[in-house]
Chains A and B, each alone.
Chain A
Amino acid sequence: MKKQYNTLSLIKAFIIDLLIWLYLVGTGFYLLEQLNVVEYKFSYFLITSVVLGIITFVTQNSLGHKGFRSKKIKKRRWYKTLWGWEIFILIAITFVVGWDIVEVNPIKLIAKFKNSKVIISQLFNPNFDNLLKMLSALSETIYLALLATVFAIPLAFIFSFFAARNLMPKNLLGNTVYIIVRTVATIVRSIEALVWAIIFCVWVGIGPFAGMLALLFHSMAALTKLYSEQIENIDSGPIEAMKSTGANTLQVWIYAVIPQIISPYLAFTMYRWDINVRMATIVGFVGGGGIGLALKQEQQLLHWRNVGLIMWLIALVVWIMDMVSGKVREKLVKH
């Protein structure tokens, strides 16, 4: 009983209510302004939101209460409750504002189809004269993806041990290492490969090497996360058993950890290579070499039949990769 009234959950509920009304009033003003009904003033916006936030909060029936103090609220049909209407308005207004901001225009989509007719017909009529040149660009992309994956594997493999909660000792050093490796991996991973490619294009110059480095960085961080989660899921029994024989930490890892993770690691790695082949095209677009770079050049020259050829080649490779990696992963998981 006591817990339901504790101050922390009250504060959380209030913050949620406040944020909801800041959003609702803000988007409301935006719409009214678009319609030239009112003139937006920051002070109006703030006062209205806070007042509405407080009013709904004191009713004890608001979304914030629903979220954090749900046990207090009786079960009723949504349209008989305040929070139900809050959610309804939230969804409705988001949709309307979204439609406006994105400039959704279905008429354009249908009426202006003829603009692209020529291009589409050329895309479906690829220019095979450039096949050899494009195949060599394509192989650049595949090798780039392959090397990035191959280099990322051992690095991620090593890092993953330090990013696994269950392997790091619960002392200051262990915690520090764990947090640092985890944080760096998370940051590197949340920066898109595309952005890494831009960075490396400046660093080592435009070309496949930059693309490879971009994918390497991103894959390494992504694999570190996947691998370390795999380690956190292993059976801890063998670890205990190996420790009890007097084995040292490295021996425990070799005997009790690695045999348990090897086949899921291979599956993840295969999956990653699959992703890297797709991403290699995209990082190529910003200067990372390979078929992506070719795609960009042909597109800028408006050589649509060449673009068509590239498009079909990429589709072919992705399709093959999908099949192969699917089959391999299936084998590994069964194993």
Chain B
Amino acid sequence: MENILTLEKLNKFYDEDTHAINDVDLEVKEGDFLILLGLSGSGKSTLLRCINRLIEPTSGKIYFEGTNVCDLGGTPLRHARREIGMIFQQFNLIKNLTVLTNALSGRLGYFSTIKSLFPRLDNELVAQAKKNLKRVGLEEFANQKVKNLSGGQQQRVAIARVLMQNPKLILADEPVASLDPATADSVMRYLGNLNKNDNITIICSLHFLSLARKYGTRVVALKGGKLMFDGEPTEIDEQKFKDIYGQDAEEVDIK
């Protein structure tokens, strides 16, 4: 299968001493559910944000569907971002707007600035947003303010928002780290569903090996900004786990 994403010798220095990403080479195949493991500070967030250029990489190449996104700027960059959805640990919704408006905001990249003032005038779009909200089980919440929703519900709104983009790739930065275990699994299930049914490639950073094994098709691990493991989820045994997380780490299981 095609590579949807290829990283070549990617480096990110925040300053002289902080080498957050160190010569990372990575190929992601279309349809992969790639799990990104690593301790806090190992560079997971930085790596994900380099891919859609929320953070400027210092050097290296990032090919998304054949084009190097590092060469893009202005409109072409925004058009590339439309195809790369992002999910965040803190959900990053606009809390005092409604669920529906938040879902619609995922479509901004396709709007003119004028149209973005009145997205609800487009009935077709509103229907699509409602369909996506239904998909994550939130159709009754459409007109509620986001701040009244629970964490798990908010993350599902974020998934509905990302769906509005029609993304080919989703970057998920610790999407379940602020959720309780049961909710975490349900959010991962929605992501797994997008991966299987909509053939959306997903790169997802996680801390739970059990979830990685359950949903991941492939696992890579970062340590101090370097890629130090690349393989099947089942390949991670106790020794590998200790290599990634340090000798004192114990695996915590969540079901």
Q: Which residues of A contact B (CB under 8 A)?
A: 235, 237-238, 240-248, 250-251, 254-256, 259-260, 263
Assuming the contacts A244-B54, A255-B116, asked whether A237 and B165 have C-beta atoms less than 8 A apart, the reply is: no
Assuming the contacts A237-B88, A259-B96, asked whether A244 and B81 have C-beta atoms less than 8 A apart, the reply is: yes
Residues of A within 8 A of B109 (CB): 245-247
Residues of B within 8 A of A241 (CB): 86, 88, 92-93, 158, 161
B residues 153-187 near A (Cβ < 8 Å) are 158, 161, 164-165, 171
A246 touches B94 (CB 8 A): no
Assuming the contacts A244-B54, A247-B78, A255-B108, asked whether A238 and B94 have C-beta atoms less than 8 A apart, the reply is: yes
Residues of A within 8 A of B106 (CB): 245
B18 on the A face (CB < 8 A): no
A246 touches B78 (CB 8 A): yes
Residues of A within 8 A of B91 (CB): 237
Residues of A within 8 A of B54 (CB): 240, 243-244
A245 touches B94 (CB 8 A): no
Cα A255 to Cα B106 with chains together (Å): 11
Interface band, chain B = 20 to 34
Residues of B within 8 A of A247 (CB): 78, 105, 108-109, 116
B residues 36-66 near A (Cβ < 8 Å) are 49, 52, 54
Cα A154 to Cα B92 with chains together (Å): 28
Give A295 Cβ to nearest chain B Cβ, in Å. Answer: 44
Give B115 Cβ to nearest chain A Cβ, in Å. Answer: 10
Provide a sorted-by-A list of 17 A–B residue pairs whose CB atoms are within 8 angstroms.
A237-B88, A238-B94, A241-B88, A241-B92, A243-B81, A244-B81, A244-B84, A245-B82, A245-B165, A246-B109, A247-B78, A248-B113, A251-B113, A254-B113, A255-B94, A259-B97, A260-B96
Closest chain B residue, CB of each to CB of A258:
B94
B85 on the A face (CB < 8 A): yes
Closest chain A residue, CB of each to CB of B173:
A240
The 0/1 profile, CB within 8 Å of A marked 1, for residues 91-129 of chain B is 111101100000001111111010011000000000000
B135 on the A face (CB < 8 A): no
A244 touches B52 (CB 8 A): yes
Residues of A within 8 A of B113 (CB): 248, 250-251, 254
B93 touches A246 (CB 8 A): no
Give A12 Cβ to nearest chain B Cβ, in Å. Answer: 26
Cα A251 to Cα B108 with chains together (Å): 7
Give B189 Cβ to nearest chain A Cβ, in Å. Answer: 22
Residues of A within 8 A of B161 (CB): 241, 245
Residues of B within 8 A of A255 (CB): 94, 97, 105, 108, 116
Cα A263 to Cα B97 with chains together (Å): 13
Contact of B94 among A243, A244, A250, A260 (CB under 8 A): A260
Give B160 Cβ to nearest chain A Cβ, in Å. Answer: 12
Cα A248 to Cα B84 with chains together (Å): 15
A245 touches B107 (CB 8 A): yes
Chain A contact residues: helix, strand, loop or mixed:
helix
Cα A251 to Cα B104 with chains together (Å): 12
B217 on the A face (CB < 8 A): no
A242 touches B86 (CB 8 A): no
Residues of A within 8 A of B93 (CB): 238, 241
With A245-B85, A246-B109 already in contact, 5 other A-B pairs whose C-beta atoms are closer than 8 Å: A237-B90, A243-B54, A245-B108, A246-B82, A259-B94
B residues 63-85 near A (Cβ < 8 Å) are 78-82, 84-85
Cα A237 to Cα B45 with chains together (Å): 13
Cα A254 to Cα B96 with chains together (Å): 13
Residues of A within 8 A of B116 (CB): 247, 251, 254-255
Residues of B within 8 A of A254 (CB): 113, 116-117
Cα A247 to Cα B81 with chains together (Å): 9
B residues 132-162 near A (Cβ < 8 Å) are 158, 161
Closest chain A residue, CB of each to CB of B48:
A244
Residues of A within 8 A of B82 (CB): 245-246
A246 touches B92 (CB 8 A): no
Cα A251 to Cα B117 with chains together (Å): 8
Residues of A within 8 A of B88 (CB): 237, 240-241
Cα A254 to Cα B80 with chains together (Å): 21
Residues of B within 8 A of A250 (CB): 113
B79 touches A246 (CB 8 A): yes
Cα A220 to Cα B137 with chains together (Å): 47
Closest chain B residue, CB of each to CB of A244:
B86
B residues 9-59 near A (Cβ < 8 Å) are 49, 52, 54
Cα A205 to Cα B234 with chains together (Å): 84
Closest chain A residue, CB of each to CB of B162:
A245
Cα A247 to Cα B82 with chains together (Å): 8
Cα A263 to Cα B113 with chains together (Å): 23
Give B238 Cβ to nearest chain A Cβ, in Å. Answer: 36
Cα A306 to Cα B171 with chains together (Å): 72
A248 touches B78 (CB 8 A): yes
Cα A237 to Cα B89 with chains together (Å): 10
Residues of B within 8 A of A263 (CB): 96
Residues of A within 8 A of B171 (CB): 244
Give A326 Cβ to nearest chain B Cβ, in Å. Answer: 23
Contact of A244 among B85, B110, B117 (CB under 8 A): B85
Cα A244 to Cα B54 with chains together (Å): 7
Give A234 Cβ to nearest chain B Cβ, in Å. Answer: 11
Cα A245 to Cα B163 with chains together (Å): 10
